[in-house]
Chain A
Amino acid sequence: MNSLSRSRMRAASAVLHGAVVMAMGLCWTVPAFAADVIRVVSPFQTTTLDPMRSAAAGNIETYGQLYSRLLRRDAETGALEPGLAEKWDISPDGKTYTFHLRDAQFSDGSPITAADVAFSLERIRTDKKSAYPAPLGAVEAVSAADAKTVVVTLKSAFAPFLGNAEIWNMGIVSKADVDKRGEEAFASVPVTSGPYEVKQWKPNEKLVLEPNPHYWRKGYPKSDATVELIEIASPETRIAMLKAGEIDVVRAVPWAQVDDLKTVETVDMRLEPSTTIYMTLLNHKREPFSNLKARQAAGMAIDNKAMAKAITRGYAEPANTTLPGSVDFHDKDYPGISYEPAKAKELLAESGMAGREVKILATADALSQQMALLIQAQWQAIGLKPSIVNVDGGAWWDATGKGDYDAAANWWYNETPDPDLAVRWAVCGTCGSNSYNTFYENPKVDALVEQGTREADPAKRAEIYKEIQRITTEEVAQIPLYYAPNAVAYSRRLQGLRLTPSLQWTLEETSIGQ
């Protein structure tokens, strides 16, 4: 093949060489880290800027930055404190709340009035498209008594009301803007009442925020930095970006990476308190888990201490009741479902469900796969025939909502320390949640749920919620697995930033140090 002359070859290799040299040359233009941007990365997407429209994880993170609420929580202690409402009076019968608003403005400079508050709350409560009206379920009416006074009347006394008025979807929006622009108001740049306003929204990629100059908390946000809430699906990529210094905060650090990140000097790897509970849903609508003994057997077959250790490397606490470990009135002394595989086998035989096929739903992420595999192995050991069916999130919700599954391990969290919303979500058959798609229903529990909100005395409430936890755990409404902290990694150049148990970033308290 001397047909290929030397000089041509040399030319070709020179081109190749040149390309490589040029590419290598690019390496030296090291990216300058703009000091005035705080970059926060989450796997969860922002899909709407309308606080009423979604209860999905990514939007919850966003709402807190854009909208103020009547009350707020102290970033450090988590205590309820005045927000847009400077103070409030509660009528002696506990049915009327009168909120007195402070002087505050929207991001467009217009005043935040009682009419805006009444409009926002009524919208959450009564609009058909409101994703999560449950926290205002006890409300009869919201009205503006005058420009600065909002009166909320309840159907009956409702102990958790103030806490519920602080939840992420209770953000106050501008009535004038929504009246004028309709849904368009939230399509790109909404008028906001919170610490930030939208600079640019690139759906599916990132939301860029800048401080709201009219924010009512003077001096906040502490830093005038722009904030980017970036969505990155791949956990490996999130961690690589943090290590490479391209971003400042990563949410949902995989457990396997926690120890490694703790050794990185520039990174502050934290395990922050959460109200998250990992558990296994059981479908009470069909066999085998419509059978109480089969459920108890399934529960006893699972060594949740070992699971917590294996999956979270010991960073999570084994769960002992059906409720998150850090909600108020969680019963720490309850022994939980004990791990007794031999007894589980017997119980299963007694139930007549031995050898039954069990369809375990799992999504593709590592955590979901691990949980499904461990559960499958432990159930196989007591004589069930579990198989794992892999689906994506959309199909997961479809199947659980229709009751087309037998078991599915997942997590949920409670947006307030008060357990009312938690029990309504997880174990109440008459609250519209189908007990988190398990179709568990116990009229006694449903009655206790209502009773719990009417009782004002904390000691008595504690008893009620203890009873709910005892009944639902004994009946194995779900199988509690573990209570996991939020694994969040922060760049050390930031001060004051954390993810609260209600899954809100304290960005307004954040400053950039060295």
Chain B
Amino acid sequence: MPLLQLISRRLLQLIGVLAGISLVTFLLVHMAPGDPARLLAGERASAESIAAIRAQYGLDLPLWRQFLTYIANLVSGDIGLSLRFQRPVIQLIEQFMWPTLFLTGYVLCLAVPPTVALAILGARRPGGIGDQIIRLVGIAGLTIPVFWLGIMMSRFFGVSLGWFPVSGYGTGFTGHLHHLFLPAVSTAIWLVPVLTQSLRAALIEKTTADFVTAARAQGATERQIFWQTMLPNAVLPTLNLLGVMVAFMIGGAVIVETVYAVPGLGTLMVNALLGRDYYVVQGLTLVFAVSTVLITLAVDLLTAFIDPRVRF
């Protein structure tokens, strides 16, 4: 089974990726200036207490020994303890994971339907009025900085109109939908143009493809040609792009999460970096790496499913 082969090869690759990423992140965070013990104990802490804290967490050991301990723990499935909160990193990640995943799913739901609709609308008559407007608005959406848009939307829809909460995650499914609406829209506003441009270009390219002419010659209706021949072929590059974007959102929703105070992985990452919470940063990086690999795998599987020519 080539499919099984693909999966097993990817999982093997994953081990290499994780090993490389662990080493790089470990070196980066440990060599950056700043001392977690100082940030934990506060500015007035004496040199003695800082030294005691460093000794307690093994931060005074040579770097290679710290790394070996870390790797040994990692292999046994333990990604460590937060230096600041004295809680397992995995527990923190679990706490902050859901808002981010929910937000990512929400953005997808908000972004995919308009992308398809707009791309089709634009590709129907390239260069036409509709296409021009879509492209113009798309460029505007792309160029507006997310943090600015976020602040403006929270001021307008949250503070002035009071329609949406400006912060938090809410409780229950509808609560999440309500609280994350503005963050999701802010993200979708730049995501939709990116995806639309890709899909539109692919659609236009495929209208003159040989297989479209062939299908037409065989007497297929235009509707059949579009849905069965053109769209499946055109959607592949966009699907890949979408995969990259989803992976990016899981790891990089930092700005949106900060502006809307969403307790997600992005906020956790920023604070862990600022607090030099080494194991949290390392743990999060591993999670991001794993999710990226898994998402690309999923996209590849989908691609293989859509286009039987793509075999590995």
Chain A residues at the B interface, C-beta cutoff of 8 Å: 1-5, 8-9, 12-13, 15-16, 19, 23, 26-27, 29-31, 45, 47-48, 53-57, 59, 128-134, 183-184, 186-188, 202-205, 232-234, 236-237, 240-241, 243-244, 246-247, 391-395, 397-399, 401, 412, 425, 432-433
Contact = CB atoms under 8 A, between A and B. Distances in A.
8 contacts: A5-B223, A19-B110, A55-B42, A131-B46, A205-B95, A240-B166, A392-B273, A393-B39
Interface string B156-179: 001100111111101000100110
Contacts of B151: 236, 240
A398 B33 contact: yes
A418 B40 CA distance: 26
Nearest to B95: A202
A324 B33 CA distance: 30
A12 B123 contact: no
A59 B33 CA distance: 23
B271 A56 contact: no
B57 to A, nearest CB: 11
Chain B interface helix/strand/loop/mixed:
helix
B125 A244 contact: no
Given A3-B226, A31-B178, A394 B45 contact: no
A3 B222 CA distance: 4
B34 A59 contact: no
Contacts of A392: 34, 273-274
Given A5-B222, A54-B40, A27 B116 contact: no
B275 interface: yes
B44 to A, nearest CB: 4
Contacts of A202: 95, 263
B87 A203 contact: yes
B116 to A, nearest CB: 6
A243 B155 CA distance: 9
Contact of A1 (B123, B260, B276): B123
Contacts, number: 213
A47 B85 contact: yes
B261 A204 contact: no
B230 interface: yes
A394 B226 contact: no
Interface string B37-56: 01111111111110111001
B90 interface: no
A234 B35 contact: no
B276 A23 contact: no
Contacts of A12: 113, 116-117, 120
A26 B84 CA distance: 38
Contacts of A399: 33
A152 to B, nearest CB: 21
A53 B39 CA distance: 11
A4 B261 contact: no
Contacts of B56: 129
B271 A204 contact: yes
Given A4-B124, A203-B92, A134 B159 contact: no
Given A233-B270, A397-B35, A132 B166 contact: no
Interface in B269-291: 270-276
A54 B110 CA distance: 44
Contacts of A19: 109-110, 113-114
A401 B162 CA distance: 47
B86 interface: yes
A436 to B, nearest CB: 8
B87 A187 contact: yes
B82 interface: yes
B234 interface: no
B96 interface: yes
B263 A205 contact: yes
A56 B40 contact: yes
A131 B48 CA distance: 9
B230 A3 contact: yes
B39 A237 contact: no
B71 interface: no
Contact of B167 (A183, A237, A394): A237
Contact of B85 (A204, A237, A398, A425): A204
B44 A394 contact: no
Contact of B46 (A4, A9, A133, A205): A133
Contact of A129 (B43, B53, B261): B53
A131 B32 contact: no
Interface string B194-223: 000000000000010000000000000011
Nearest to A28: B163
Nearest to A433: B44
